[in-house]
Amino acid sequence: MPLHSKVRALGLALLLTITAVGLSAWTTAPSSSRTASSDAATAPAPVPEYAENGMVVSAKRTASEAGVEMLKKGGNAVDAAVATGFALAVVHPFAGNIGGGGFMVIRNPDGSVTTIDHREDAPSGATQDVYLDDEGNAARTRSRRGYLASGVPGTVAGLLKALDEHGRLDRATVMAPAIRLAEEGFPLPHALAEDLNDRYRAFAEFPVTKAYFTKGSASSKYRTGERFVQTDLAQTLKRIRDEGKSEFYEGETASLIAEQFQANGGLIDEQDLAEYEAVEREPVTATYRGYEVHSMGPPSSGGVAIAQLLNAAERKDISQMGFNSSATAHYLGEAMRRVFADRAKWLGDPDHVQVPTEGLIQKDYMQQRMASFTSSRVTPEDSIRAGEPMLTGESMETSHYSVADSSGMAVSVTTTLNSGYGSKVVIDGAGFFMNNEMNDFVLKPGVPNQFGLSGTKRNLVAPDRRMVSSMSPTIVEDPQDRLHLVIGAPGGSTIITTTFQVIMNVIDHGMNVEQAVTAGRIHHQWKPRHLSYEEFALSTDVVRNLRTREWDVTKGVFGGIPQWGRAQGLRIKHPDRPDQVRVFRGSSDPRGPGAAVGF
């Protein structure tokens, strides 16, 4: 993941400002424009984008603009989200997709909240044995690259279910920007041109991928700004536009996917596609200091884990303890360890295994889990295991986008192919990448996946099962039940801790949304044992303090990635006085080249 220079500058500005003038001056920095503070004593605080009628925040400006185009046509937040989702499938092949899956949280104008699970599921031929070698060891590359790595894609079913049930505009209108971008092409941004060139060898392994996403030889390079046209993808999108969900799952696109998979030793067949359904599910809702936090339930672990982390944080005065102070990092690190131990043991597909969601998110349960916490030193590694929640009888690459409209409707979507460009397999004649989501299953108990996450038999590969996710699209309402924050992030296991920390930054530290997504983060996932931190997230002094408490503190995650989780957030500022208007404030994480676009 390339180090983005803007975040360096902003991170430094944040750190300098905190140290120079303290948090209170920082959070009262001027909020009406992007220009710097006139107060010479303060470094400029990062300021979000502003708008009065609605906003879309995503990983690519053209995709955010596609969403805003819908708001301007009288569409609602769901229309905008669906247009953004399809546009990302064109301009962000790294993670935007129709060959992958995701989760969507929707807040209706009346305040009711629902979710659409469009996670991939395992093909009917997928069994544990497929992913073990002759010696019974996990054959890791099978779940990461090539034809065995893909689950049945859910994105088209999820986006179109949302549009049918919650949108106002028709399919042709919301898909028009994506089709235009594919058919007419778009100027290749430098980062994408460079990334495609860098991946020549990985893509050349698959002849179809080589034909679509390389220039035919290692020496022939994409140039920044050259027009990138995707004719077959445009045709695929047009077929979906004309025929709807059934085209992708039972029509020509389904045949193209199934035939290519069957011819190359893959598992997905026509029946797997025909049987795929996106599922509406209840959100997981937590309360935090009077706010309501709605996020994604199983098969994502995100909502449960965030609720658990918030329950732990609520027991302390985090604001008083201070942003990323030794005391805060120590306490949150301990909470994260316990929560990820629970994730590993208890999470699975709720349609196949019993997940004790209610027990895990009870405030008393987290109180019990934190009982072994001591402020002086880290809890010994071997004494942290999963807890025993009450069973209440209930049965690196991703992309997030956040949308809100003027009616109070909001949509939070996290979508993924899993790794960048998924399995690296492109569908011939259709022009899109397939996911490698099978790696999110437990291939063998005790063997970690690419994000270092392990699990139990609850998340083993099994036909039609959905693999556990960390994706955490989230919507927060304020104590007056008004829409407050729409947030989410990519980043594998760090999705959970990133989303949690942005929520805390806003509620506990009073940051504006730009400051909240920019601020440096910490991460712990129980195993491995490191407490990771981003550059500038912890001062040398705090790192030293944590080491005296016997923490294994490491800069970067997953073996050295210095920064993680390109969060996309927007926050609504409701008027305090009759002469004020409601304002949407959006921020696309400066760790990447996305954009908040409003109108």
Which residues contact ligand DON (rule: CB under 6 A)? 396-398, 416, 418, 437, 440, 469-471, 490-492, 495
Shortest Cβ distance from residue 279 to ligand DON (Å)? 16
Token representation of residue 301? 């672990």
Secondary structure, 3-state, 338-383 = HHHHHHHHHCCCCCCCCCCHHHHHCHHHHHHHHHHCCCCCCCCHHH
Distance between CA 463 and CA 100 in Å, rounded? 17
The one catalytic residue among 357, 398, 474, 494? 398
Collapsing DSSP to helix, strand or coil, 280 comes out as: strand
Which CB atom, from 85 or from 491, has the smaller least distance to ligand DON?
Answer: 491
Q: Quick check: 580 and 557 in contact, CB under 8 A?
A: no
CB of 424 to ligand DON, least distance (A): 14
Catalytic (active site) residue 231: no
Q: Measured from the CB of residue 299, what is the shortest distance to ligand DON in angstroms?
A: 9
Q: Other CB atoms closer than 10 Å to residue 535's CB: what's the count?
A: 16
**Based on CB atoms, which residue is closest to ligand DON, 416 or 512?**
416
Side-chain-side CA neighbours of residue 527 (13 Å): 19
**Cβ-based nearer residue to ligand DON, 55 or 495:** 495
| Minimum gap (Å) between residue 432 Cβ and ligand DON | 17
Q: How far is the CB of 9 from ligand DON (least distance, A)?
A: 23
Q: Hey, which residues does 404 pair with through a beta bridge?
A: 55, 410
| CB nearer to ligand DON: pick between 144 and 245 | 144
Provide the β-strand partners of residue 469. 300
Cα 202 to Cα 33, 198, 206, 207, 561, distances in angstroms: 44, 9, 8, 11, 20
Q: What is the rounded distance in angstroms from the CA atom of residue 558 to the CA atom of residue 495?
A: 13
Tokens coding 98: 């129709």
Distance (Å, rounded) from C-alpha 244 to C-alpha 180?
Answer: 18
For residues 552 and 346, give the distance between their C-alpha atoms in angstroms, rounded to a whole number.
26
Q: Residues with Cβ < 8 Å from 167, sequence gap 6 or more?
A: 75, 76, 78, 79, 82, 174
Residues 322 and 275: their CA atoms lie apart, in Å, by 51
Residue 463, CA atoms < 13 Å, CB-side half-sphere: 9
8 Å CB contact between 438 and 272: no
Q: How far is the CB of 288 from ligand DON (least distance, A)?
A: 22
Quote the Cα angle for 584-586-591, to 5°. 175
Q: How far from chain centre, in Å, is Cα 286?
A: 19
Q: How far is the CB of 495 from ligand DON (least distance, A)?
A: 6
483-487: strand order across its sheet: 49-51, 583-588, 568-573, 483-487, 474-477, 291-295, 284-288
Q: What would the two tokens of residue 523 be? A: 């991460």
302-322 burial, b for 16+ CB within 10 Å, e for fewer?
A: bbbbbbbbbbbbbebebeebb
Q: Token pair of 392, please?
A: 């209440």
Active site residues: 398
